Structure 1
Amino acid sequence: MATDERRDGLTVTVRLIRSFEHKNLKNVVFHKVDPDTTVETFMDRVRKDIQTRPGLPPPFRKHAYDAMKLEFKAHGNKTNNPVINTGDDDKLMLKPGSTLRESGVENETEISFFKREEYDNFVENPVTRW
């Protein structure tokens, strides 16, 4: 682990997805994220933060987020889907009990945060509306 990472932590962008169908999402940035934080602890941090984050509309604050998936790493490839990468769930879903580091989260990683049931429905029927 790099000295800067240990001292400063990671910068992680969390993509809050409220609706896959309507492409309703907001990005929030978290600084000084400890890479040895568990996935559950990070989810709790995000849920608490968005309750009071300025400029975030109420529907995003109250949504029942319960799953995270790696979306993009710095200098990596992005998906063609504007909402979420629907492939490689086994590899990209953050697993409970794992740390962010074990899950492949690095500095400047983008993580999608969403309700798993809605994601599964979207994967089965990937229709988007405006």
Structure 2
Amino acid sequence: MAAAAVVTVRLVRSFEHRNFKPVVFHGVRLDQTVHDFIQLVRDDIATRQGLPPPFKKYAYDTMKIIHQAHGAKTNELVMSLEDDEKLILQDGQTLTAAGVANETEVAFFRQEDYSVYKANPQTAW
């Protein structure tokens, strides 16, 4: 039985407007695949109390590590635009292989939104 971890998932609704909500997951199995964890998070947020409807119904499809316990935090307000090849979680990997550990924070977002924002990283107020 793999160790259970606490993972914070930052639901990113809009990069331009810095619109995101952190959701904490306890008892996350790090030996599950990224694909399974994404499904677990989707199922959870669809019914989670206190989460505004726009966050529940959004078409999230990609996860990226933002911060790991005892590591340096990024200055970016939503998430770093660097190191995608290292930090974006791949479907077939286990969470451990993807670099997720206890107290890791990951962003959950739509790849298409991220690509548009990354090409022109402007924030709107």
Shorter-chain TM-score bucket reads over 0.9
Q: 1:109 & 1:42 partners in 2: Cα distance?
A: 14
CA distance in 1, matches of 2:91, 2:35: 6
Amino acid at match of 2:31: D
Whether 1:52 aligns to 2:25 is no
Please list, as runs of the form range in 1=range in 2, the aligned pairs for 1:1-130 lying within 5 A after superposition. 6=3, 9-130=4-125
Q: Structure 2 regions of 5+ residues with no counterpart?
A: none
Partners of 1:96 and 1:45 in 2: CA distance: 13
Q: Mark the runs of 5 or more structure 1 residues left unpaired by the alignment.
A: none
Deviations 1:77-103 (A, max 9, x none): 111110111000010000110000000
Residues 16-72 of structure 1 show CA distances to partners (whole Å, capped at 9, x for unaligned) of: 000001000000000000000100100000000001111100000010000000000
- Secondary structure (helix, strand or coil) at the match of 2:17 reads coil
- In 2, the alpha carbon distance for the partners of 1:28 and 1:49 equals 10
RMSD, aligned α-carbons: 1.1
What is the identity percentage for the equivalent residue pairs of Structure 1 and Structure 2? 54
Separation of aligned partners in 1, 2:71 and 2:80: 13
Counterpart-to-counterpart distance in 2, 1:68 and 1:61:
16
Q: TM-score, normalised by structure 1?
A: 0.94
Tell me how many residue pairs correspond in the alignment: 125
Q: Say which structure is richer in helix.
A: 1
Structure 1 segments of 4+ aligned residues over 3 angstroms from their partners:
none
